[in-house]
Structure 1
């Protein structure tokens, strides 16, 4: 990290309360219609594993190389582990070599983003647009066509193979 990056992070701190609101990510695929949920995070405690709850609703990060989903490249859909909203298509997945499932783009309108300053310098954090569950961070070091790497916590996702029906949205 250089001084300019460090300084930019500190200068952005006063804007944190304004930036903490989620904004919908601009992506390339038409998504399904859904209503955002208005439930407390505690609502999900008995619906997901303790590890998933910590990542989704306490914004933790799982260890790299800990998710079997990092090596899944079958055709299908990746859905939010909490509310089951489809978040990524398998054709947008790639091996980033980071130890986390990575995608070039999410399904349009299914992610919200906000600035994260936990490591001092700003990063773009993203959440499920329906339940608000923390998924990961997006970086500008991915492959074409977007140049983005949507780096996801595997425990925050479920994979539904192409030959299976997507589950109904959970509330």
Structure 2
């Protein structure tokens, strides 16, 4: 469980730092969160299909990384394209680059290919991880907005206060460790 928390916090921090230094508009944040959640969920399901349907029957499961990277790159390009066609008013510019760097999707997909879990468990874990990532992005945006208007010492403005906030959020999320025992 702590590995999930570490991946979610680090990926959210990296993606959030890649976004503009100014607080992103709420619509942009939620479109980014939705795109990441879709990429994670579809990436995990596709990883299971590729692993069980192609790599295991061919007896080459060690090549999972080389098969999953193009799959996730295709999702990083395809999900924003589909979102732009579905809702043309949504801001999807710059999303493929951020989705390509999303380590949460690759880490979760690689872990799911090693487990012999059911399709429903895989889908549920992908959706929950995507939702957790979306929540972490929202929390980082709120932290950035609050710290911009708070009386913070000059040495802690910007990245230092965000890293302190990430540490506090990691401690808060680690409180869920062991809550759900498999």
Q: From the two aligned structures, give the one with the greater strand fraction.
A: 1
**Of the two structures, which has the highest relative contact order with CA contacts closer than 8 Å and spacing of 6 or more?**
2
Q: From the two aligned structures, give the one with the greater helix fraction.
A: 2
TM-score, length-scaled by structure 2: 0.24
Rg: which structure is higher? 2
